[in-house]
Structure 1
Amino acid sequence: MRVCLLGSGSKGNAVYVESRGCRILIDAGFSARELGNRLAAIGTGGDDLDALFMTHEHGDHSRGMGPLARRHRLPVYVHHRTYRELGRCGAIDDVREFEAGDAITLGDIQVTSFPITHDAAAPVGYVIETPEGKVGVATDLGIATRLVAERLKGCRVLVMESNHDEAMLRDGPYPWHLKQRIRSNHGHLSNLASAQLLQGLLWEGLEAVFLAHLSEVNNTPILAEACAREVLGAQTLCRPLLAIGTQERASVCFTL
Protein backbone atom coordinates (compact mmCIF):
# COMPACT_ATOMS: atom_id res chain seq x y z
CA MET A 1 0.00 0.00 0.00
CA ARG A 2 1.23 3.49 -0.87
CA VAL A 3 -0.40 6.82 0.07
CA CYS A 4 0.61 10.29 -1.04
CA LEU A 5 -0.89 13.76 -0.92
CA LEU A 6 -0.31 15.12 -4.42
CA GLY A 7 -1.18 18.52 -3.00
CA SER A 8 -3.45 19.91 -0.34
CA GLY A 9 -4.77 23.37 0.48
CA SER A 10 -7.27 25.99 -0.59
CA LYS A 11 -6.01 26.01 -4.21
CA GLY A 12 -6.00 22.29 -4.97
CA ASN A 13 -6.32 18.82 -3.43
CA ALA A 14 -5.65 15.26 -4.55
CA VAL A 15 -4.81 12.05 -2.66
CA TYR A 16 -3.17 9.04 -4.33
CA VAL A 17 -3.74 5.55 -2.91
CA GLU A 18 -2.11 2.45 -4.36
CA SER A 19 -2.48 -1.22 -3.45
CA ARG A 20 -0.94 -4.25 -5.12
CA GLY A 21 -3.85 -4.47 -7.54
CA CYS A 22 -5.38 -0.99 -7.79
CA ARG A 23 -4.48 2.69 -8.04
CA ILE A 24 -6.99 5.45 -7.35
CA LEU A 25 -7.07 9.20 -7.01
CA ILE A 26 -9.33 10.89 -4.48
CA ASP A 27 -10.21 14.34 -5.84
CA ALA A 28 -8.64 16.20 -8.75
CA GLY A 29 -8.26 19.78 -7.63
CA PHE A 30 -5.43 20.72 -9.99
CA SER A 31 -5.35 20.92 -13.78
CA ALA A 32 -4.96 17.62 -15.61
CA ARG A 33 -1.46 18.67 -16.68
CA GLU A 34 -0.42 19.51 -13.12
CA LEU A 35 -1.89 16.26 -11.83
CA GLY A 36 0.11 14.43 -14.48
CA ASN A 37 3.27 16.20 -13.36
CA ARG A 38 2.67 15.34 -9.72
CA LEU A 39 1.88 11.71 -10.50
CA ALA A 40 5.09 11.53 -12.52
CA ALA A 41 6.99 12.96 -9.54
CA ILE A 42 5.98 9.91 -7.48
CA GLY A 43 6.74 7.45 -10.27
CA THR A 44 3.34 6.84 -11.82
CA GLY A 45 0.92 8.46 -14.30
CA GLY A 46 -2.67 9.01 -15.28
CA ASP A 47 -2.75 5.92 -17.50
CA ASP A 48 -1.88 3.81 -14.45
CA LEU A 49 -4.97 4.95 -12.51
CA ASP A 50 -7.98 2.67 -12.19
CA ALA A 51 -10.52 5.24 -10.98
CA LEU A 52 -11.17 8.72 -9.66
CA PHE A 53 -13.27 9.29 -6.52
CA MET A 54 -14.74 12.70 -5.69
CA THR A 55 -15.43 14.04 -2.20
CA HIS A 56 -17.46 17.11 -3.25
CA GLU A 57 -17.90 19.65 -6.00
CA HIS A 58 -15.79 22.63 -4.86
CA GLY A 59 -13.21 23.70 -7.44
CA ASP A 60 -10.17 23.03 -5.26
CA HIS A 61 -11.22 19.37 -5.33
CA SER A 62 -12.78 19.03 -8.79
CA ARG A 63 -10.93 21.41 -11.14
CA GLY A 64 -9.19 18.69 -13.13
CA MET A 65 -11.85 15.99 -12.88
CA GLY A 66 -13.30 16.23 -16.38
CA PRO A 67 -10.05 16.65 -18.35
CA LEU A 68 -8.27 13.93 -16.33
CA ALA A 69 -11.15 11.45 -16.72
CA ARG A 70 -11.45 12.10 -20.46
CA ARG A 71 -7.71 12.02 -21.13
CA HIS A 72 -7.18 8.70 -19.37
CA ARG A 73 -10.67 7.19 -19.79
CA LEU A 74 -11.17 6.89 -16.05
CA PRO A 75 -14.40 5.93 -14.32
CA VAL A 76 -15.49 8.66 -11.92
CA TYR A 77 -17.20 7.63 -8.68
CA VAL A 78 -19.29 10.47 -7.26
CA HIS A 79 -22.32 10.99 -5.05
CA HIS A 80 -25.33 11.59 -7.27
CA ARG A 81 -26.10 14.97 -5.69
CA THR A 82 -22.49 16.08 -6.08
CA TYR A 83 -22.53 15.06 -9.75
CA ARG A 84 -25.50 17.36 -10.35
CA GLU A 85 -23.28 20.27 -9.25
CA LEU A 86 -20.40 19.30 -11.54
CA GLY A 87 -21.95 20.12 -14.91
CA ARG A 88 -19.20 22.62 -15.68
CA CYS A 89 -16.70 19.75 -15.87
CA GLY A 90 -18.14 18.64 -19.21
CA ALA A 91 -19.22 15.25 -20.46
CA ILE A 92 -17.60 12.18 -18.87
CA ASP A 93 -18.09 8.78 -20.49
CA ASP A 94 -18.06 6.67 -17.33
CA VAL A 95 -19.76 8.21 -14.28
CA ARG A 96 -20.69 5.85 -11.46
CA GLU A 97 -22.99 7.49 -8.95
CA PHE A 98 -23.40 6.27 -5.37
CA GLU A 99 -25.16 6.97 -2.10
CA ALA A 100 -23.20 7.88 1.03
CA GLY A 101 -22.38 4.65 2.83
CA ASP A 102 -22.03 2.56 -0.33
CA ALA A 103 -19.05 0.20 -0.58
CA ILE A 104 -17.35 -0.10 -3.98
CA THR A 105 -14.94 -2.92 -4.83
CA LEU A 106 -12.12 -2.34 -7.30
CA GLY A 107 -9.47 -4.99 -7.73
CA ASP A 108 -8.16 -5.83 -4.27
CA ILE A 109 -9.59 -2.76 -2.50
CA GLN A 110 -12.96 -1.69 -1.16
CA VAL A 111 -13.83 2.00 -1.00
CA THR A 112 -16.60 3.00 1.41
CA SER A 113 -17.97 6.54 1.57
CA PHE A 114 -19.39 8.25 4.64
CA PRO A 115 -21.14 11.63 4.98
CA ILE A 116 -19.34 14.64 6.41
CA THR A 117 -20.50 18.17 7.26
CA HIS A 118 -19.39 20.85 4.80
CA ASP A 119 -21.13 23.53 2.76
CA ALA A 120 -21.46 21.38 -0.35
CA ALA A 121 -24.27 19.32 -1.89
CA ALA A 122 -23.37 15.91 -0.43
CA PRO A 123 -19.75 15.86 0.79
CA VAL A 124 -18.19 12.54 1.76
CA GLY A 125 -15.05 11.07 3.24
CA TYR A 126 -13.67 7.66 2.33
CA VAL A 127 -12.24 4.57 3.95
CA ILE A 128 -10.16 2.46 1.57
CA GLU A 129 -9.67 -1.13 2.71
CA THR A 130 -6.62 -2.83 1.19
CA PRO A 131 -4.94 -6.18 1.94
CA GLU A 132 -2.38 -4.22 3.98
CA GLY A 133 -4.93 -2.29 6.04
CA LYS A 134 -7.26 0.71 5.91
CA VAL A 135 -6.70 4.28 4.75
CA GLY A 136 -9.06 7.00 6.00
CA VAL A 137 -9.56 10.29 4.14
CA ALA A 138 -11.54 13.10 5.83
CA THR A 139 -10.97 16.70 4.79
CA ASP A 140 -13.30 19.70 4.41
CA LEU A 141 -15.39 18.94 7.46
CA GLY A 142 -16.67 21.59 9.82
CA ILE A 143 -17.08 19.16 12.67
CA ALA A 144 -15.81 15.66 13.40
CA THR A 145 -19.10 13.87 14.06
CA ARG A 146 -19.39 10.58 15.92
CA LEU A 147 -19.95 8.89 12.56
CA VAL A 148 -16.71 10.31 11.17
CA ALA A 149 -14.77 9.15 14.24
CA GLU A 150 -16.35 5.72 14.06
CA ARG A 151 -15.57 5.24 10.36
CA LEU A 152 -11.93 6.27 10.80
CA LYS A 153 -11.20 3.86 13.65
CA GLY A 154 -8.67 1.15 12.91
CA CYS A 155 -7.01 2.93 9.99
CA ARG A 156 -3.31 2.37 9.44
CA VAL A 157 -3.05 5.62 7.48
CA LEU A 158 -5.09 8.79 8.10
CA VAL A 159 -5.47 11.84 5.86
CA MET A 160 -7.04 14.46 8.14
CA GLU A 161 -7.95 18.10 7.78
CA SER A 162 -6.05 20.57 9.96
CA ASN A 163 -7.19 23.78 8.30
CA HIS A 164 -6.68 26.71 10.63
CA ASP A 165 -5.27 28.02 13.86
CA GLU A 166 -8.18 29.53 15.77
CA ALA A 167 -6.30 32.65 16.87
CA MET A 168 -4.88 33.30 13.40
CA LEU A 169 -8.35 33.00 11.89
CA ARG A 170 -9.88 35.27 14.54
CA ASP A 171 -7.24 37.99 14.15
CA GLY A 172 -6.57 37.53 10.44
CA PRO A 173 -7.58 39.52 7.35
CA TYR A 174 -10.64 37.54 6.29
CA PRO A 175 -14.01 39.35 6.40
CA TRP A 176 -16.25 38.42 9.30
CA HIS A 177 -18.74 36.41 7.23
CA LEU A 178 -15.92 34.23 5.86
CA LYS A 179 -14.47 33.68 9.32
CA GLN A 180 -17.91 32.59 10.50
CA ARG A 181 -18.25 30.20 7.57
CA ILE A 182 -14.87 28.58 8.25
CA ARG A 183 -15.58 28.23 11.98
CA SER A 184 -19.08 26.81 11.47
CA ASN A 185 -20.11 23.17 11.58
CA HIS A 186 -20.13 23.24 7.78
CA GLY A 187 -16.74 24.90 7.38
CA HIS A 188 -13.28 23.56 8.15
CA LEU A 189 -11.59 21.76 11.03
CA SER A 190 -9.17 23.71 13.22
CA ASN A 191 -5.80 22.39 14.37
CA LEU A 192 -7.23 21.83 17.84
CA ALA A 193 -10.32 19.99 16.59
CA SER A 194 -8.15 17.89 14.31
CA ALA A 195 -5.88 16.94 17.21
CA GLN A 196 -8.90 16.01 19.33
CA LEU A 197 -10.16 13.76 16.53
CA LEU A 198 -6.71 12.19 16.19
CA GLN A 199 -6.58 11.46 19.91
CA GLY A 200 -9.64 9.22 19.61
CA LEU A 201 -8.17 7.36 16.63
CA LEU A 202 -4.89 6.28 18.16
CA TRP A 203 -4.24 2.54 18.21
CA GLU A 204 -1.21 0.30 17.95
CA GLY A 205 -1.64 -0.18 14.20
CA LEU A 206 -1.62 3.51 13.23
CA GLU A 207 1.45 4.04 11.01
CA ALA A 208 1.04 7.39 9.27
CA VAL A 209 -0.92 10.64 9.66
CA PHE A 210 -1.14 13.23 6.89
CA LEU A 211 -2.35 16.69 7.94
CA ALA A 212 -4.24 18.17 5.01
CA HIS A 213 -5.95 21.31 3.71
CA LEU A 214 -3.86 23.78 5.72
CA SER A 215 -4.89 27.39 5.14
CA GLU A 216 -2.12 29.54 3.67
CA VAL A 217 -3.55 32.59 5.48
CA ASN A 218 -4.85 31.23 8.79
CA ASN A 219 -2.36 28.49 9.62
CA THR A 220 1.26 27.44 9.43
CA PRO A 221 2.77 23.95 9.14
CA ILE A 222 4.55 24.54 12.45
CA LEU A 223 1.31 25.25 14.32
CA ALA A 224 -0.56 22.32 12.76
CA GLU A 225 2.29 19.93 13.47
CA ALA A 226 2.64 21.13 17.06
CA CYS A 227 -1.01 20.36 17.84
CA ALA A 228 -0.75 16.87 16.39
CA ARG A 229 2.58 16.13 18.07
CA GLU A 230 1.19 17.16 21.45
CA VAL A 231 -1.36 14.36 21.11
CA LEU A 232 1.11 11.85 19.70
CA GLY A 233 3.72 12.62 22.35
CA ALA A 234 1.30 12.05 25.21
CA GLN A 235 0.68 8.38 24.42
CA THR A 236 2.65 5.17 23.91
CA LEU A 237 0.30 3.15 21.69
CA CYS A 238 1.91 4.12 18.40
CA ARG A 239 4.59 6.26 16.79
CA PRO A 240 3.19 7.11 13.35
CA LEU A 241 4.92 9.08 10.64
CA LEU A 242 3.52 12.63 10.64
CA ALA A 243 3.49 14.41 7.27
CA ILE A 244 2.20 17.90 6.48
CA GLY A 245 0.52 18.41 3.12
CA THR A 246 1.52 21.45 1.08
CA GLN A 247 0.05 23.26 -1.90
CA GLU A 248 3.24 23.44 -3.93
CA ARG A 249 4.26 19.81 -4.29
CA ALA A 250 3.47 16.19 -3.52
CA SER A 251 4.15 15.12 0.05
CA VAL A 252 6.34 12.24 1.06
CA CYS A 253 4.78 8.93 0.01
CA PHE A 254 4.09 6.46 2.79
CA THR A 255 4.51 2.78 1.89
CA LEU A 256 3.42 -0.27 3.85
Structure 2
Amino acid sequence: MDCNPLFITSLNSGSNGNCYYVGNSKEAILVDAGISCKETEKRMLRLGLSMKKVKAIFISHEHGDHIRGLTILSKKFGIPVYITPGTIGNCKLSLPEELIRHFSSHETVQIGSIHVTCFPKVHDAAEPHSFMVSCGNIKVGVFTDLGVVCEQLSIHFQQCDAAFLEANYDEELLHNGKYPYYLKRRISGGQGHLSNRQALELFTNHRPAKLTHLLLSHLSKDNNDPELVEHLFNQHAEDTMIIVATRYMETLVFTIGAASGSSPEIFPTDQLNLQLQGF
Protein backbone atom coordinates (compact mmCIF):
# COMPACT_ATOMS: atom_id res chain seq x y z
CA MET A 1 0.00 0.00 0.00
CA ASP A 2 1.15 3.54 -0.79
CA CYS A 3 1.86 5.00 2.66
CA ASN A 4 2.04 8.67 1.92
CA PRO A 5 1.80 11.01 4.87
CA LEU A 6 -1.66 12.32 5.59
CA PHE A 7 -2.50 16.01 5.33
CA ILE A 8 -5.15 17.41 7.63
CA THR A 9 -6.95 20.68 8.24
CA SER A 10 -10.07 21.95 9.92
CA LEU A 11 -11.99 24.03 7.40
CA ASN A 12 -14.36 25.16 10.17
CA SER A 13 -15.12 23.93 13.66
CA GLY A 14 -17.98 25.06 15.90
CA SER A 15 -21.74 25.26 16.23
CA ASN A 16 -21.83 27.46 13.10
CA GLY A 17 -20.42 24.64 10.95
CA ASN A 18 -17.99 21.72 10.97
CA CYS A 19 -15.86 20.36 8.15
CA TYR A 20 -12.60 18.42 8.42
CA TYR A 21 -10.21 17.40 5.62
CA VAL A 22 -7.94 14.33 5.67
CA GLY A 23 -6.04 13.22 2.59
CA ASN A 24 -2.82 12.02 1.02
CA SER A 25 -1.23 13.15 -2.24
CA LYS A 26 -3.78 11.21 -4.34
CA GLU A 27 -7.15 11.30 -2.61
CA ALA A 28 -8.93 12.85 0.34
CA ILE A 29 -12.13 12.73 2.33
CA LEU A 30 -14.18 15.30 4.19
CA VAL A 31 -15.79 14.53 7.51
CA ASP A 32 -19.02 16.53 7.65
CA ALA A 33 -20.06 19.43 5.44
CA GLY A 34 -21.50 22.01 7.78
CA ILE A 35 -20.39 25.14 5.95
CA SER A 36 -21.61 26.27 2.54
CA CYS A 37 -20.22 24.81 -0.66
CA LYS A 38 -18.93 28.26 -1.62
CA GLU A 39 -17.12 28.68 1.69
CA THR A 40 -15.69 25.16 1.53
CA GLU A 41 -14.29 25.85 -1.94
CA LYS A 42 -12.92 29.23 -0.89
CA ARG A 43 -11.10 27.87 2.14
CA MET A 44 -9.64 24.91 0.30
CA LEU A 45 -8.43 27.22 -2.46
CA ARG A 46 -6.67 29.42 0.08
CA LEU A 47 -4.88 26.32 1.37
CA GLY A 48 -3.96 25.07 -2.09
CA LEU A 49 -6.20 22.00 -1.72
CA SER A 50 -8.04 20.59 -4.73
CA MET A 51 -11.69 19.50 -4.61
CA LYS A 52 -10.77 16.99 -7.33
CA LYS A 53 -8.94 14.96 -4.68
CA VAL A 54 -12.03 14.68 -2.46
CA LYS A 55 -13.51 11.24 -3.15
CA ALA A 56 -16.01 10.95 -0.29
CA ILE A 57 -17.84 12.87 2.43
CA PHE A 58 -18.50 11.05 5.70
CA ILE A 59 -21.37 12.36 7.83
CA SER A 60 -21.15 11.95 11.60
CA HIS A 61 -24.79 12.83 12.37
CA GLU A 62 -27.74 14.88 11.17
CA HIS A 63 -27.43 18.16 13.08
CA GLY A 64 -27.39 21.23 10.83
CA ASP A 65 -23.86 22.33 11.72
CA HIS A 66 -22.61 19.07 10.16
CA ILE A 67 -24.73 18.85 7.00
CA ARG A 68 -25.66 22.43 6.05
CA GLY A 69 -23.52 22.52 2.89
CA LEU A 70 -23.76 18.83 2.02
CA THR A 71 -26.37 18.74 -0.75
CA ILE A 72 -24.85 21.43 -2.96
CA LEU A 73 -21.27 20.30 -2.36
CA SER A 74 -22.04 16.66 -3.13
CA LYS A 75 -24.10 17.43 -6.23
CA LYS A 76 -21.70 20.01 -7.67
CA PHE A 77 -18.67 17.73 -7.52
CA GLY A 78 -20.41 14.35 -7.70
CA ILE A 79 -18.94 13.28 -4.37
CA PRO A 80 -20.41 10.14 -2.75
CA VAL A 81 -21.84 10.66 0.73
CA TYR A 82 -21.26 7.97 3.35
CA ILE A 83 -24.08 8.14 5.88
CA THR A 84 -26.11 5.73 8.01
CA PRO A 85 -29.77 4.97 7.19
CA GLY A 86 -30.85 6.44 10.53
CA THR A 87 -28.93 9.64 9.94
CA ILE A 88 -30.26 10.24 6.44
CA GLY A 89 -33.73 9.40 7.68
CA ASN A 90 -33.49 12.35 10.06
CA CYS A 91 -32.06 14.73 7.44
CA LYS A 92 -34.18 16.87 5.16
CA LEU A 93 -31.80 16.47 2.25
CA SER A 94 -32.41 15.97 -1.45
CA LEU A 95 -29.35 13.86 -2.26
CA PRO A 96 -29.41 11.83 -5.48
CA GLU A 97 -29.66 8.11 -4.73
CA GLU A 98 -26.56 7.40 -6.80
CA LEU A 99 -24.44 9.51 -4.43
CA ILE A 100 -25.64 7.85 -1.22
CA ARG A 101 -23.50 5.14 0.37
CA HIS A 102 -24.60 3.55 3.65
CA PHE A 103 -22.15 2.46 6.31
CA SER A 104 -22.67 0.58 9.55
CA SER A 105 -21.01 0.63 12.96
CA HIS A 106 -17.46 -0.77 13.04
CA GLU A 107 -17.31 -0.98 9.26
CA THR A 108 -14.11 0.08 7.51
CA VAL A 109 -14.66 1.80 4.17
CA GLN A 110 -11.84 1.96 1.60
CA ILE A 111 -11.40 5.15 -0.43
CA GLY A 112 -8.40 4.49 -2.66
CA SER A 113 -5.48 3.95 -0.28
CA ILE A 114 -7.39 5.60 2.58
CA HIS A 115 -9.38 3.51 5.06
CA VAL A 116 -12.14 5.01 7.21
CA THR A 117 -13.31 3.06 10.26
CA CYS A 118 -16.70 4.17 11.58
CA PHE A 119 -17.61 3.57 15.21
CA PRO A 120 -20.57 4.71 17.33
CA LYS A 121 -20.39 7.59 19.79
CA VAL A 122 -22.71 8.99 22.46
CA HIS A 123 -24.58 12.07 21.23
CA ASP A 124 -28.20 13.18 20.99
CA ALA A 125 -28.68 12.14 17.38
CA ALA A 126 -30.10 9.11 15.54
CA GLU A 127 -26.97 7.08 14.73
CA PRO A 128 -23.94 9.26 15.56
CA HIS A 129 -20.48 8.04 14.59
CA SER A 130 -16.85 9.00 14.97
CA PHE A 131 -14.18 8.15 12.41
CA MET A 132 -10.65 6.84 12.29
CA VAL A 133 -8.95 7.69 9.00
CA SER A 134 -5.83 5.74 8.09
CA CYS A 135 -3.32 5.26 5.33
CA GLY A 136 -0.89 2.45 5.98
CA ASN A 137 0.05 2.76 9.63
CA ILE A 138 -0.80 6.48 9.88
CA LYS A 139 -4.05 7.15 11.76
CA VAL A 140 -6.06 10.33 12.27
CA GLY A 141 -9.13 10.43 14.51
CA VAL A 142 -12.12 12.75 14.09
CA PHE A 143 -13.80 12.85 17.50
CA THR A 144 -16.36 15.62 18.06
CA ASP A 145 -19.93 15.95 19.40
CA LEU A 146 -19.33 13.53 22.24
CA GLY A 147 -21.53 13.20 25.28
CA VAL A 148 -19.02 11.09 27.18
CA VAL A 149 -15.63 9.45 26.76
CA CYS A 150 -16.75 5.90 26.04
CA GLU A 151 -14.56 2.81 25.80
CA GLN A 152 -14.56 2.87 22.00
CA LEU A 153 -13.30 6.45 21.97
CA SER A 154 -10.50 5.63 24.41
CA ILE A 155 -9.43 2.61 22.37
CA HIS A 156 -9.31 4.52 19.09
CA PHE A 157 -7.66 7.61 20.60
CA GLN A 158 -4.76 5.44 21.76
CA GLN A 159 -4.01 4.56 18.13
CA CYS A 160 -3.83 8.11 16.74
CA ASP A 161 -0.93 9.93 15.15
CA ALA A 162 -3.17 13.01 15.14
CA ALA A 163 -6.71 13.77 16.21
CA PHE A 164 -9.48 16.32 16.03
CA LEU A 165 -10.87 16.21 19.59
CA GLU A 166 -13.83 18.13 20.95
CA ALA A 167 -13.22 20.52 23.85
CA ASN A 168 -16.59 22.24 23.75
CA TYR A 169 -17.02 24.06 27.04
CA ASP A 170 -15.41 25.17 30.26
CA GLU A 171 -17.57 23.89 33.12
CA GLU A 172 -17.43 27.13 35.10
CA LEU A 173 -18.20 29.31 32.10
CA LEU A 174 -21.17 27.12 31.20
CA HIS A 175 -22.49 27.05 34.78
CA ASN A 176 -22.26 30.83 35.20
CA GLY A 177 -23.27 31.69 31.63
CA LYS A 178 -26.46 33.01 30.10
CA TYR A 179 -27.78 29.78 28.59
CA PRO A 180 -31.14 28.56 29.94
CA TYR A 181 -31.05 25.59 32.30
CA TYR A 182 -32.43 23.10 29.78
CA LEU A 183 -29.67 23.96 27.28
CA LYS A 184 -26.93 23.75 29.92
CA ARG A 185 -28.30 20.34 30.84
CA ARG A 186 -28.39 19.25 27.20
CA ILE A 187 -24.75 20.25 26.69
CA SER A 188 -23.35 18.68 29.86
CA GLY A 189 -25.86 15.89 30.51
CA GLY A 190 -23.98 12.98 28.95
CA GLN A 191 -25.38 13.09 25.41
CA GLY A 192 -24.22 16.55 24.37
CA HIS A 193 -20.62 17.68 24.31
CA LEU A 194 -17.27 17.15 26.00
CA SER A 195 -15.96 19.69 28.49
CA ASN A 196 -12.35 20.84 28.53
CA ARG A 197 -11.82 18.69 31.63
CA GLN A 198 -13.20 15.53 30.00
CA ALA A 199 -11.14 16.08 26.85
CA LEU A 200 -8.00 16.72 28.90
CA GLU A 201 -8.54 13.54 30.91
CA LEU A 202 -8.75 11.54 27.69
CA PHE A 203 -5.60 13.25 26.43
CA THR A 204 -3.55 12.73 29.59
CA ASN A 205 -4.77 9.19 30.34
CA HIS A 206 -4.81 7.69 26.85
CA ARG A 207 -2.43 9.72 24.69
CA PRO A 208 -0.19 7.50 22.56
CA ALA A 209 3.50 8.34 22.37
CA LYS A 210 3.18 8.84 18.60
CA LEU A 211 0.50 11.58 18.83
CA THR A 212 2.12 14.55 17.07
CA HIS A 213 -0.89 16.87 16.61
CA LEU A 214 -4.07 17.50 18.58
CA LEU A 215 -6.62 19.85 17.04
CA LEU A 216 -9.03 21.00 19.75
CA SER A 217 -12.39 21.25 18.03
CA HIS A 218 -16.01 22.41 18.31
CA LEU A 219 -15.29 25.07 20.95
CA SER A 220 -18.37 26.89 22.20
CA LYS A 221 -18.47 30.56 21.34
CA ASP A 222 -20.11 31.49 24.65
CA ASN A 223 -18.92 28.81 27.06
CA ASN A 224 -15.24 28.46 26.25
CA ASP A 225 -12.15 30.53 25.62
CA PRO A 226 -9.54 29.52 23.02
CA GLU A 227 -6.63 30.91 25.05
CA LEU A 228 -7.84 29.17 28.20
CA VAL A 229 -8.13 25.74 26.58
CA GLU A 230 -4.88 26.09 24.64
CA HIS A 231 -3.02 26.96 27.84
CA LEU A 232 -4.69 24.08 29.69
CA PHE A 233 -3.59 21.49 27.14
CA ASN A 234 -0.14 22.96 26.56
CA GLN A 235 0.68 22.35 30.21
CA HIS A 236 0.43 18.62 29.45
CA ALA A 237 1.39 18.60 25.77
CA GLU A 238 4.99 17.36 25.92
CA ASP A 239 5.81 16.50 22.27
CA THR A 240 2.25 16.95 20.96
CA MET A 241 1.47 20.13 19.04
CA ILE A 242 -1.76 21.71 20.30
CA ILE A 243 -3.87 23.61 17.75
CA VAL A 244 -7.21 25.28 18.44
CA ALA A 245 -9.53 24.86 15.47
CA THR A 246 -11.78 27.89 15.17
CA ARG A 247 -15.30 28.74 14.04
CA TYR A 248 -14.06 31.63 11.89
CA MET A 249 -11.52 30.24 9.44
CA GLU A 250 -9.50 27.25 8.33
CA THR A 251 -6.37 26.05 10.13
CA LEU A 252 -3.05 25.46 8.41
CA VAL A 253 -2.50 22.15 6.66
CA PHE A 254 -0.56 19.80 8.91
CA THR A 255 1.53 16.86 7.70
CA ILE A 256 1.05 13.68 9.71
CA GLY A 257 3.40 10.74 9.48
CA ALA A 258 6.48 12.27 7.89
CA ALA A 259 9.19 9.91 6.64
CA SER A 260 11.21 8.10 9.25
CA GLY A 261 13.91 10.31 10.71
CA SER A 262 12.22 13.59 9.79
CA SER A 263 9.91 15.83 11.76
CA PRO A 264 6.25 16.45 10.91
CA GLU A 265 5.89 19.55 8.77
CA ILE A 266 3.43 22.39 8.50
CA PHE A 267 3.00 23.55 4.91
CA PRO A 268 2.38 27.31 4.73
CA THR A 269 -0.23 28.21 2.13
CA ASP A 270 2.28 29.85 -0.21
CA GLN A 271 4.36 26.66 -0.36
CA LEU A 272 1.57 24.16 -0.97
CA ASN A 273 1.42 24.45 -4.73
CA LEU A 274 5.19 24.23 -5.01
CA GLN A 275 5.45 21.25 -2.66
CA LEU A 276 2.41 19.29 -3.75
CA GLN A 277 1.58 20.65 -7.22
CA GLY A 278 -2.10 21.17 -6.61
CA PHE A 279 -2.49 18.59 -3.85
TM-score by length of 2: 0.87
Offset of residue 132 of structure 1: 5.5
Instruction: Determine if contact 1:114/1:151 at 8 Å carries over to the other structure.
Output: no
Shift of 1:32: 0.8
* Equivalent position amino acid for 1:89 in 2: L
Task: Pick from 22, 25, 41 the counterpart of residue 27 of structure 2.
Answer: 22
Asked if structure 1 preserves the Cα contact closer than 8 Å seen for 2:29 and 2:58, the reply is yes
Match of 2:47 among 42, 47, 50: 42
Q: Provide the secondary structure at the position in 1 that maps to 2:235.
A: helix
Q: Is the 8 A contact 2:15 2:218 kept in 1?
A: yes
Deviation at 1:227, TM superposition (A): 2.3
User: Following the alignment from structure 1 to structure 2, what is the Cα–Cα distance between the partners of residues 155 and 47?
Assistant: 27
- Write the distance in 1 (CA, Å) between the matches of 2:152 and 2:232: 23
d(CA) in 1 for partners of 2:242 and 2:16? 22
1 CA distance for matches of 2:166 and 2:212?
Answer: 17
Cα distance in 1 for partners of 2:20, 2:234 equals: 22
The 5-angstrom pairing of residues 106-125 of structure 1 reads 106-125=111-130
CA–CA separation in structure 2 for the residues paired with 1:74 and 1:4: 19
- CA deviations on 1:70-94 (whole Å, 9 max, x unpaired) are 00000000112101112x2213231
Q: 2:95 aligns with which of 91, 94, 114?
A: 91
CA contact (8 A) 1:154 1:201 kept: no
- Give ranges in structure 2 of 5+ residues lacking alignment: 1-5, 257-279
Q: How does 1:196-207 map to 2 (within 5 A)?
A: 196-207=201-212
The DSSP-based 3-state class of the residue aligned with 1:9 is coil
Aligned to 1:247: 247
SS of equivalent residue, structure 1 residue 24: strand
Contact 1:46–1:68 (Cα < 8 Å) also in 2: no
TM-score w.r.t. the length of structure 1 is 0.95
| Structure-1 separation of matches of 2:46 and 2:60 | 24
Distance in structure 2 (CA, Å) of the matches to 1:241 and 1:196: 17
Inter-partner Cα distance in structure 1 for 2:129 and 2:57: 14
Unaligned runs of at least 5 residues, structure 1: 234-238
Q: Which amino acid letter does the alignment assign opposite residue 72 of structure 1?
A: F
Look up the SS of the partner of 1:134 in the other structure. strand
Alignment of 1:36-185 (within 5 A): 36-86=41-91, 88-92=92-96, 93-131=98-136, 133-185=138-190
* Alignment map for 1:207-226 (pairs within 5 Å): 207-226=212-231
1:227 to 218, 232, 246: 232
Distance in 1 (CA, whole Å) between partners of 2:220 and 2:156 is: 25
Q: CA deviation at 1:253?
A: 1.5
Task: Map Cα deviations across residues 169-205 of structure 1 (whole Å, 9 max, x no partner).
Answer: 0000000000000001101000010000111332221
Q: Deviations over 1:192-238 (max 9, x none)?
A: 100001113322211100000000000010121122123325xxxxx
How many residues matched?
250
Range with greater deviation from structure 2 (33-42 or 163-172): 33-42
8 Å contact kept, 1:243–1:252: no
Contact 1:141 1:161 in 2 (8 A): yes
The residue type paired with residue 187 of structure 1 is G
Matched residue of 1:67: which SS?
helix
Cα pair 2:134 2:140 within 8 Å, conserved: yes
